[in-house]
Amino acid sequence: MSKTADVIRVRRSQLRLSQDRLAELVGVTQRQIGRYESGEQSPSLAVSVRLSNALQVSLAELAGAEASETDLSGEWWVAWQYRRSGADHVNVHLLAVAQDDELLHVADGDRAHPVVDGSYTWRSELRLWGGEVLMGWYTTSGGSIRHIGTLYFALHPDGSQMIGSWTGLRPTGSLARGWTAIARDKDCAIQLVTSLIDTNGELPTWPERAIRSSR
C-alpha cells in the first residue's frame, strides 16, 4: 500500500470524516476515495490539492514525506480558558494534529462543544521552533461570528504536553486572551490549564511542572 493511501485513511479517521463526506469535500465519488485509501489508484495533482485542503495536511505530507524528529502528530486534548458572563470557564475537547516537518496542521474535526457552551469548530497552523516553542494562528469555522487569533506554546522536553496562551479579536474590536494547554491525556490538559489560570502563568520549570494522569 502506498504512503499516500495510508495518509488519506489515517487522517480521515483522525478528523472523523466518512468516506462520503471526504468525497463531497474533494469533489469525487465515495468509491474513488476507497480506491485512494486502498492504494488501487493514486490521486491526480488537482485532486491531491483538494485532498490536502480537506484533510488539512500539506502536499508533502500527503505524499508521505518523512516527519520531524519531534513527532507531534496524532490525537491530543486541548483545554482552554474563556470568559462568559464575567466568569472564567475551561473548555476541553479532542484535536487531530498532522505534522509536516516543523509545521503542524491542527483541527478539531467538529469535536468542539456547541457554540452555546462557549466553543467553536476551529483549525490552526503551528510552527515548531527549536523543538521547544510553537507559534501560529487559529480561525474558527463554526457559529455566526468568526474569530481569528494567535497561539503560543512551550513544549515539554518529552513532547507529551504543551502550555501557552491564545489572543484573539472580539467582534467589538477589542482583544480577548486566555491560557491554554494541550496534552496527550485529557486530565493532564485540564490540570495544566487550571494551574496556568491559578498562577497567572507563573509555573515552575518544566521538570517540576510536568503533569501526568493519575490513572
Q: Within this chain, do residues 54 and 151 fall inside the same structural domain, yes or no?
A: no
Phi, psi of 211 (to 5 degrees): -110, 135
Q: Give the model's pLDDT for residue 41.
A: 92
78, 183, 193, 194 from 198: Cα distances, Å: 18, 18, 9, 6
0.95 surpassed by pTM: no
In angstroms, rounded to a whole number, what is the distance separating the alpha carbons of residues 19 and 193?
Answer: 35
Whether residue 68 is contained in a domain is answered as: no
33, 97, 106, 135 from 78: Cα distances, Å: 30, 11, 11, 15
The three cell numbers locating residue 121: 469548530
Q: Within this chain, do residues 93 and 199 fall inside the same structural domain, yes or no?
A: yes
Rg (Cα) of the chain, in Å, rounded?
18
Q: Within this chain, do residues 91 and 196 fall inside the same structural domain, yes or no?
A: yes
Q: Give the model's pLDDT for residue 169.
A: 80
Q: Give the model's pLDDT for residue 215.
A: 46
For 33, the enclosing helix (H) or strand (E) is: helix 30-38
**Domain end point (choices 17, 32, 62):** 62
Q: Give the model's pLDDT for residue 21.
A: 93
What CATH code is carried by the domain that includes residue 15? 1.10.260.40
Whether residue 215 is contained in a domain is answered as: no
Strand partners, 80: 91, 180
In angstroms, rounded to a whole number, what is the distance separating the alpha carbons of residues 140 and 134?
Answer: 19
Whether residue 11 is contained in a domain is answered as: yes
**Domain end point (choices 14, 39, 62):** 62
Q: SS3 for 117? A: helix
What CATH code is carried by the domain that includes residue 192? 2.40.128.120
Q: What is the mean pLDDT of each run of 10 residues along the chain (215 residues)?
A: 86 90 94 94 91 84 70 91 82 87 79 52 86 89 69 91 90 84 94 92 64 54
Q: Within this chain, do residues 52 and 80 fall inside the same structural domain, yes or no?
A: no
Q: SS3 for 105? A: strand
Number of compact structural domains in the chain: 2
Name the residue range of residue 54's domain.
3-62
